[in-house]
Structure 1
């Protein structure tokens, strides 16, 4: 742990734009960043809500360099701390973390460096920060700022409430002169107000950036044969890296094994694996040695990997906040990315059953509300981005043009006859069987179970043999969604008719349904998202590949993830502009003085050699 020696005699720029340019290598702030940074640099409190990849970290990292003293950053995961510290050290910023992954001598060394003013940012867990003996040490050193990352964990209305975070409200009373910043990517209005109240922020500057991630395409398909659908989708990604979120540990293992059998560099991640194994999977993924990770929600909060190109939800999340946060791990570099969900309405009933085991009625009410909002998003027939942003209080008047609904609007048809066939079949089977078996009878299956029940003698037997299993499953699901059928959870989800089915069966009313959507959109149908960074898509692909190889070699030598050297956007700009001098190299987005000194020579040499070869 010698990175903090960089702090010796270091003189930092005295204004925010100079720090942004000289240290982090960016030429301009994103909307809202500079106002928050300067407010905090002058000693004010703030609440910052920005989407994943929107530049939240700079909002506290720059004030940390502008203010005297040490900034303590509260972070929930060891992996997240390590990623942030690696990235800061690569930019020449003296940063460290204190957690259980360090030996006692290493921790003592860092504490000594903090006392001697050799470290500017320290990442800690909330439990450590609130320990009385640790706080006694804080009273002995100059403090610049407290930054509370993942601040939604503080709120009882948040989707990831953590009791240990609630203790952080005591910091204002203990250190009233130290400014505090709360940061999160996911917080609705109730959560925002709860964060402000629980942290006792003093006249905070509130910055709520757009929740929109225009470079991410949202895509949803009905789940029929999920493994087959997934493999078709993965094949279309042409070797790009991605995360597949699954609803159970067992499923992550099954999915990863199937992907390995198909020749993909894949592995699984869940809390049931040994810590060392989980760390190995995560390290391999962020170092581009694994392409795909099948994981539970335990994976991802600590992933600062900018070039994740797709996120798949094999099962529906419990709330929109989780969905937004998990899909936000795609395309952090601003380039095009996809979020694809396989959706079966029966999953809502399954998740609802799990939530109902919560003995806290107040928490259960919150969780049910959030699950219902998630179901509404999945079943929407209007622009998904509008539904998503509306949930967070951001209203867009125009459809986005970059989701499955916009790119391939739902087609409707007169489904009266098909609905009558379905409802009649359910009725004649005594309303005692589940969806899958009803489809077997409709399609005229000759299996043993059908014959044993005598259902091959029903007038509805085989009425739907011209259509596929997936087609009839979609029709039945829509009839449930429209209120003509219900699934009785207490009886194994058997289908039963509702009163609303009577006039439909009698022909007194007509019914229009959506044509079933079975496969995801082809990537070729993606429209430009309008992200300014997508302008780099005409860079020199051969040079880009050469620079990626060089980046991997340098990253492996330093034992850091490739993106700590440079992210894909920076490499794309190099491959586009082909800088030949240090001055031109500094003009590339993401190149500061420290990275110029560390990496300028090998990258400039590689670009010159490439130019000479061609």
Structure 2
């Protein structure tokens, strides 16, 4: 290292930057001086430079421990891109061939390699330990260090073994780096690595350019497509919790003309890294991924991060949203929230060790509080990471842009503090809320807490209200959650002062998120369908009646009520758009669509209606394989029982599928099966009934024709035959 060149000079020479960001320079100096160093900087804060620059300047090779193969490759490519020789940086992991491993080792032994990236698993291999014992190590850098802590959002047991292995290979300074860590996680990392004496560099967690919003999870696919179409050509990431959902969403986006690809750990490595490269090279705009994607992905212009599923912890959420707007430009972070998802996540925890379940529940509760709270999202996030956000309104989150009503809650805060103290600060928020609302849970019965003065003292409010009181009292510093002890609530000195002389406490009421209704599984149409636009709905019904009369068919054969209702919400004006209407397939759209489309188009123009932009949401029938199988089986005259057995379902489900196929306009000839079930006379009777019927209701048909004569299945089969023969 040339003493005549300043650090900024080296920064310019190696990385092309004219100045350091934030605390980078002080942290680099700490590493150069051989000190153990702990670096906590948000995503995009420039953590990697803190070990890369010293590695290039010091004698020997820096060992960088990194959790993901994709991340290592990304980092190595970027360093090589700034240097003249490739051998300056290498990675050593399971993706390399024998020959490639040999080449890496000889470059390291020759002292040419300045940075060697290894996975924690590779570090534990005996031959790698022997090899590393014989090289000059400048320092160890542990990237994504939060993986060490079981309180971190991405705990990896193998990270716990780093310290003993470092001792076996040979001592050198340790640099731990992470983008997210609460005080608890930070202490855990330093203790486990044996660097409690480390120089600590902490940047602010506030990313002022990021916009945070939580939306109710109602028709999320439509909302996502609408959002992406409004932000055409911008790069974005959509996170889902399951691989199956990743595949489904990616497919739905593709059929809606959006350049999107999937990424998850279940894909083969080549496809996965190929998809990642396409995203980095801007061949695709959107990556739909599980959380495996994005660690260290250095794409500065990600403009939005959408969470289809709520993350398991606020740390995970913060890290994932932190991949937006790393260049300081626009970054929109939108999360879909439904309490059902939280219940699913809780179910996943069953079967894990009790301590792990408790930690998981605590982390989840913080996420729920964040989602349901109506106070500034930044205040909550920064408070979680032990930082105080001074402004009352950040002007860049949904809660600040649309403030919710506030109520005076001085009296309620007093009741909450009294209840916490009455149980000697030995219980969690959930239990204290149950005491206040007077809910005799098993725990309250066994501790006889129904005898407390506080029991039922807050029954004028519900549990969610009391959770808001706890959360906002925490942010104001009146109480604290003792994370070491499973989140027991403790009253702080400020809380005791508040009890002595209560002052005004304005509480922001929580959000109440609407839930999406479960769709009915029956093949028949939902009853009582009503339109979005009553005038148009009535006109469509009149037109249907006219066409039905002309064709001598019952109206329901043309289009069913739910289809008309959907048309009056979506205003389709092309055949393609009509095919996206509930219960309308290609056949129906082409056979009956023309007059309906003309009517809607005229209505839209005359009334100057703005059609919903997300209208053309094409759906991928996840049952499409099943439908194709059924159509092919019926063509081959295979009995429904055999079709059901082949697919491991009930005959009723096969009939429901067939109903859906026929409703959307595909003609199926099921005579071979119906003839086995009903004789000719009975078939004619049901057929004639439907010819005259006002509706296609199975219940009404059974009441008219006699339940002793026909089963529900008979009527459904005949209704399919009738619709297929007459309508399709």
Taking structure 1 as reference, are residues 146 and 307 closer, same or farther at Cα in structure 2, changes over 3 Å only?
same
Q: Look up the SS of the partner of 1:51 in the other structure.
A: coil
Return the alpha-carbon distance in structure 2 between the equivalents of residues 299 and 384 of structure 1: 24
Residue 258 of structure 1: how far off its partner (Å):
1.6
Return the alpha-carbon distance in structure 1 between the equivalents of residues 267 and 526 of structure 2: 43
The structure having more radius of gyration, on CA atoms, is 2
Residue 28 of structure 1: how far off its partner (Å):
1.5
Aligned position for 1:51: 42
Taking structure 1 as reference, are residues 208 and 435 closer, same or farther at Cα in structure 2, changes over 3 Å only?
closer
Residue 371 of structure 1: how far off its partner (Å):
0.3
Residue 435 of structure 1: how far off its partner (Å):
6.9
Return the alpha-carbon distance in structure 1 between the equivalents of residues 232 and 178 of structure 2: 33
Aligned position for 1:277: 271
Matching residue within 345, 352, 355 for 1:351: 345
CA deviation digits over 1:350-369, x for unaligned, max 9? 211222x2421111111100
* Counterpart check, 1:250 vs 2:330: no
Return the alpha-carbon distance in structure 1 between the equivalents of residues 4 and 80 of structure 2: 17
Aligned position for 1:163: 157
* Counterpart check, 1:191 vs 2:271: no
The within-5 A match list for 1:173-192 is 173-174=167-168, 177-192=171-186
Taking structure 1 as reference, are residues 98 and 389 closer, same or farther at Cα in structure 2, changes over 3 Å only?
same
Residue 276 of structure 1: how far off its partner (Å):
2.1
Moved over 6 A (4+): 10-13, 434-440
Matching residue within 144, 147, 150 for 2:141: 147
Matching residue within 316, 321, 338 for 1:322: 316
CA deviation digits over 1:568-602, x for unaligned, max 9? xxxxxxxxxxxxxxxxxxxxxxxxxxxxxxxxxxx
Return the alpha-carbon distance in structure 1 between the equivalents of residues 30 and 406 of structure 2: 53
Matching residue within 382, 389, 392 for 2:382: 389
Contact 1:245 1:297 in 2 (8 A): yes
Residue 171 of structure 1: how far off its partner (Å):
4.4
Aligned position for 2:65: 74
Aligned position for 1:103: 97
CA deviation digits over 1:326-355, x for unaligned, max 9? 111111222111111111122212211222
Matching residue within 33, 48, 56 for 1:42: 33
Taking structure 1 as reference, are residues 186 and 159 closer, same or farther at Cα in structure 2, changes over 3 Å only?
same
Matching residue within 359, 370, 375 for 1:377: 370
Return the alpha-carbon distance in structure 1 between the equivalents of residues 403 and 296 of structure 2: 36
Q: Look up the SS of the partner of 2:363 in the other structure.
A: helix
Taking structure 1 as reference, are residues 90 and 174 closer, same or farther at Cα in structure 2, changes over 3 Å only?
same
Aligned position for 2:9: 18
Contact 1:12 1:19 in 2 (8 A): no
Contact 1:13 1:19 in 2 (8 A): no
CA deviation digits over 1:537-582, x for unaligned, max 9? xxxxxxxxxxxxxxxxxxxxxxxxxxxxxxxxxxxxxxxxxxxxxx
Return the alpha-carbon distance in structure 2 between the equivalents of residues 78 and 12 of structure 1: 36
Taking structure 1 as reference, are residues 45 and 364 closer, same or farther at Cα in structure 2, changes over 3 Å only?
same
Q: Look up the SS of the partner of 1:23 in the other structure.
A: helix
Taking structure 1 as reference, are residues 366 and 97 closer, same or farther at Cα in structure 2, changes over 3 Å only?
same
Residue 275 of structure 1: how far off its partner (Å):
2.3
RMSD, aligned α-carbons: 2.8
Aligned position for 1:363: 356
Residue 446 of structure 1: how far off its partner (Å):
7.6
CA deviation digits over 1:508-538, x for unaligned, max 9? xxxxxxxxxxx99xxxxxxxxxxxxxxxxxx
Q: Look up the SS of the partner of 2:15 in the other structure.
A: coil
CA deviation digits over 1:57-113, x for unaligned, max 9? 011111112211100100111111111111101111711111122211111111101
Return the alpha-carbon distance in structure 2 between the equivalents of residues 15 and 148 of structure 1: 26
Residue 131 of structure 1: how far off its partner (Å):
2.7
* Counterpart check, 1:311 vs 2:311: no
Aligned position for 2:527: 447
Contact 2:130 2:169 in 1 (8 A): no
Q: Which moved more, 1:403-412 or 1:324-333?
A: 403-412
Contact 2:37 2:199 in 1 (8 A): yes
Return the alpha-carbon distance in structure 2 between the equivalents of residues 45 and 167 of structure 1: 18
Return the alpha-carbon distance in structure 2 between the equivalents of residues 171 and 38 of structure 1: 26
Aligned position for 1:286: 280
Return the alpha-carbon distance in structure 2 between the equivalents of residues 412 and 250 of structure 1: 41
Matching residue within 194, 201, 206 for 1:200: 194
Return the alpha-carbon distance in structure 1 between the equivalents of residues 100 and 4 of structure 2: 30
Taking structure 1 as reference, are residues 227 and 175 closer, same or farther at Cα in structure 2, changes over 3 Å only?
same
Taking structure 1 as reference, are residues 372 and 202 closer, same or farther at Cα in structure 2, changes over 3 Å only?
closer
Taking structure 1 as reference, are residues 12 and 148 closer, same or farther at Cα in structure 2, changes over 3 Å only?
farther
Matching residue within 223, 239, 242 for 1:229: 223
Return the alpha-carbon distance in structure 2 between the equivalents of residues 197 and 159 of structure 1: 18
5+ residue gaps, structure 1, are 1-9, 414-433, 450-467, 470-518, 521-614
Q: Look up the SS of the partner of 1:167 in the other structure.
A: helix
Higher relative contact order, structure no. (Cα contacts within 8 Å, ≥ 6 residues apart): 1
Contact 1:64 1:120 in 2 (8 A): yes
Q: Look up the SS of the partner of 2:223 in the other structure.
A: helix
Q: Look up the SS of the partner of 1:34 in the other structure.
A: helix
Matching residue within 324, 334, 359 for 2:328: 334
Residue 185 of structure 1: how far off its partner (Å):
0.5
Taking structure 1 as reference, are residues 157 and 117 closer, same or farther at Cα in structure 2, changes over 3 Å only?
same
CA deviation digits over 1:403-439, x for unaligned, max 9? 11112223689xxxxxxxxxxxxxxxxxxxx976799
